[in-house]
Chain A
Amino acid sequence: MAYEHVPGYVSEETSRGETTVVVERARVREAAEYLRDAHGFNFLSDVAAADYLGWGGAGVAGSWGSAGGRDGSSPGSGGLARLPGPKPKRFSVSYHLLSLRRGAPRVRLQVWCDDGEPVPSVVPVWPTADWLEREQYDLLGIHFEGHPNLVRILMSEDWEGHPLRKDYPIGGEPVRFSEAE
């Protein structure tokens, strides 16, 4: 439990050689500052959010079928071998931190939020979070509170919806200019 003093500490898990520290959503900036100053994680490598809407919804596949029975027309396809573990909320935001010193220690700082819940921005801690957070806002609709310039970055300014959300269908983009004369 190397990270239990991190502000807003919720849980910590090590799997496949990577440590994930989950903190309270509202205290992520404090946690980031603490990890930077007390643990020496001076380099923010990446900010990655994920949408877990419909997580595990594919059900269990195979000849045993799921609770709803087995679909004979698509045997075994698309389903899972076992249901994945539940997730606390719809979105996760993961900050991948790196320390530029011997051994290259890394840690994943993670917060969970539902649609519309703001996550404090870490731009004051690492300026590089500027575009990284803008990208996650643009594609997944995570609202980073206190970001100096939270506008779309990859999609155009008047785009509707957030393409990387699970309820945004592939091929669902509006046909542009169709109403123009």
Chain B
Amino acid sequence: MTGRSAAAGVEFPATGAARVRRVSVGEPVYRGTRIPSPIPTILQVPEEIAAAGDVLTVNFGPNHPSTHGVLRLVVDLDGERVVGIRAVIGYLHTGFEKSMESKSYWKAITYPARMDYLCFQQNELLFVMAIERLLETEPPPKAIWMRTLLAELTRIHSHLVWLGTTGLELGAISMFWYCFRERDQILDLMEMVTGVRMHTRYFQAGGLAEDIPPGFAAECRKLIEVMPGRIGEYEALFDRNPIFLERTKGVGLLSAEDAIALGQSGPMLRASGVDWDLRRDQPYLAYPELDFDVPVYPECDVYARYRVHMDEMRQSVRMIEQCLDGMPDGPWIVNDRKFVLPPRDELHTSMESLIHHFKLVSEGYRVPEGEVYETIESARGELGCYLVSDGGPRPWRVHFRAPSFVALQAIAACLTDSLIADMIAIAASLDPVMGDVDR
């Protein structure tokens, strides 16, 4: 079955949710190891090339438009070949982890969403899940399913921005507009549920901040109806484009062995032929009850990473549909007044509830002593949160394992023996969000 895009006038496969291509994962195509030595993240100019005296050092960034923020790459060039590279980060360091130590948990929930600003709800979700592990509480089923749904919406949001900006960097400006059209639709849904478009603070320790608004399911179904076709349109723009294929196939190789050694996760790992996804292998939320596939590609190159992103969007659409179908009824937050606000209507009639509300918001709730390391599969891979509590209302120590931070470590290995022109495509394929890298 093929459809016809009115705008572009080209044939594209109208791949829908039911027609996801199952990838037979063979052996990874590339098997070598290219981690530089002795420093795994810095490619140093070989002595014989340096001695020839023809090496040109270029500062790429930190304000270059294609660096996804403020990333600085110090590149040593021998002609057009990259012979040395060093990534310099920290330009966006905001001290979130330090700030969170002086805020009550109540207020600290607002911070994680601002780290990875494309994947905001998953960061928020992770922090709330870490608090819940310490509180030893389990949110009600409705909250679990809604969290799953919103996490998948956020994944599509993040992948759309990735796809649009990657296209932009490779000279395909129209992709950006198409992706942002759907992204806006997702942000409209976020606004409908939470009142804000980004940095929603909708997840609460114990459940959700508010009930799902009436009419959400219908609006959400509008998106998932058009989305598979739209993904087909994106693919029609890229998969038939010889320039895109030329610039991505066989470029930026990272073997499975290197990817694991460098701690890569998410699309990076799956594009290197490693069949690993925390949603399936370490089930959390409602994922064990959902039916989805994990796309894995063995080519190890930039094109494989693009393929993984596209297939993941399709799978997310499938999961959102199942979440809408299976959304249970009932309360959206646990009934535990130790850390959950009293219902709004009680504040008008009950003095105790009003005081309680005030104390929870101003002083915060106390979280039992302990340390946890919670992980989820964010759009960029394994997102981790190490949370230490001393039993007080403020976190003693918060540390985030940022998938972008780890992904950027692979840039030296990926750029070994490549050309300067490939650098943009490779840096984009790592999908770094600098807010997440620098925190």
Residue of B nearest to A152 (CB): B90
**Most chain B C-beta atoms within 10 Å of own C-beta, residue among A43, A102, A139, A155:** A43
From A4-12, A21-29, A64-72, A126-134, the one touching the partner chain is A126-134
Nearest Cβ in chain B — how far from A75, in angstroms? 11
Judge if B32 is at the interface, Cβ distance under 8 Å: no
**In the complex the two chains form, is A45's CB within 8 Å of B384's CB?**
yes
Q: Given A102-B281, A148-B38, check contact A16 B133 (CB 8 Å).
A: yes
Which residues, 30 to 49 on A, are CB-close (under 8 Å) to B?
Answer: 42-46, 48
B95, CB-defined interface residue at 8 Å = yes
Q: How far is the CA of A85 from the CA of B368 in the complex (A)?
A: 12
Contact A153 B90 (CB under 8 A): yes
B373 cross-chain contacts in A, Cβ below 8 A: 18, 45-46, 48, 94, 96, 106, 108
Whether the pair A84, B260 counts as a contact (CB closer than 8 A) is: no
Interface residues of B in 402-418 (CB under 8 A from A): 405-406, 408-409
A78 CA / B136 CA spacing, docked (Å): 22
- The reply on A2 being an interface residue by CB < 8 A is no
Q: How far is the CA of A76 from the CA of B386 in the complex (A)?
A: 28
Given that A16-B370, A94-B386, A100-B260 are contacting pairs, would A58 and B392 also be in contact in the complex, using a CB cutoff of 8 Å?
Answer: yes
**How far is A149 from B372 in the complex, measured between Cα atoms in Å?**
29
Q: Does B397 contact A (CB under 8 A)?
A: yes
Q: What is the distance, in angstroms, from B268's C-beta to the closest C-beta of chain A?
A: 12
Q: Which residues of A contact B261 (CB under 8 A)?
A: 126-128
A18 to B130 alpha-carbon distance, docked (Å): 12
Which residues on the A side are within 8 Å of B371 (C-beta)? 18, 20, 50, 94
- Cβ contacts under 8 Å, B375 to chain A: 45, 98, 106
With A42-B260, A77-B363, A156-B90 as known contacts, state yes or no: A130 contacts B409, CB within 8 Å: yes
B397-439 residues with Cβ-Cβ distance < 8 A to A are 397, 399, 401, 405-406, 408-409, 438-439
- The digit string for B120-156, where 1 denotes a CB below 8 A from any CB of A, is 0000000000000110100000000000000000000
Q: Which residues of B contact A108 (CB under 8 A)?
A: 373
Contact A46:B401 (CB < 8 A) given known A104-B278, A131-B41: yes
Measured CB to CB, the nearest residue on chain B to A166 is B101
Range class of the B interface residue count: 35 or more
Q: How far is the CB of B106 from chain A (nearest CB, A)?
A: 14
Q: Would you give the shortest CB distance from A62 to chain B, in whole angstroms?
A: 11
Q: Please, which residues of chain A bring their CB within 8 A of the CB of B41?
A: 127, 130-131, 149
The smallest C-beta distance from A22 to any residue of chain B, in angstroms, reads 12
- Alpha-carbon distance A44/B318, docked complex (angstroms): 31
Q: Is the CB of A45 within 8 A of B382?
A: yes
B225 contacts the other chain (Cβ, under 8 Å)?
A: no
B390→A80 contact, CB < 8 A: yes
Tell me which residues across on chain B come within 8 A of A55, comparing CB atoms: 390, 396
A100 touches B390 (CB 8 A): no
Chain B residues with Cβ below 8 Å from A170 are 98-99, 102
Q: Given A100-B260, A155-B90, A170-B99, does the pair A45, B401 have CB atoms closer than 8 Å?
A: yes
- For B275, give the chain A residue with the smallest CB separation: A100
**Residues on B with beta carbons closer than 8 Å to the beta carbon of A126:** 261, 263
- CB of A73 within 8 Å of the partner chain: no
From B40, B95, B388, contact of A127 by CB (8 A): B40
B372 CB contacts on chain A under 8 angstroms: 16, 18
Neighbouring B residues of A48 by C-beta, 8 Å: 373, 386, 397, 399, 401
Residue in chain A with minimal CB distance to B384:
A46
Q: Contact: B282 with A104, CB < 8 Å?
A: yes
CB of A15 within 8 A of CB of B89, answer no
Residues of chain B contacted by A85 (CB below 8 angstroms): 369
Supply 25 A–B pairs (Cβ within 8 Å), ascending by A: A16-B370, A18-B372, A43-B263, A48-B373, A50-B396, A52-B396, A80-B366, A80-B392, A84-B390, A85-B369, A94-B373, A98-B375, A98-B382, A100-B276, A104-B282, A106-B373, A126-B261, A127-B40, A128-B261, A128-B262, A128-B409, A131-B406, A149-B42, A153-B89, A153-B90
New A-B pairs, 16, CB < 8 Å, besides A126-B263, A170-B98: A45-B263, A50-B396, A50-B399, A51-B397, A80-B391, A127-B40, A127-B261, A128-B263, A128-B406, A128-B409, A131-B406, A131-B408, A152-B90, A154-B89, A156-B90, A170-B99
> Hey, which bits of chain B sit against chain A, CB under 8 A?
35, 38-42, 89-90, 93, 95, 97-99, 102, 133-134, 136, 260-263, 274, 276, 278, 281-282, 363, 366, 369-373, 375, 382, 384, 386, 388, 390-393, 396-397, 399, 401, 405-406, 408-409, 438-439
Pick the 4 closest A-B CB pairs, nearest first: A128-B263, A127-B40, A104-B282, A46-B401
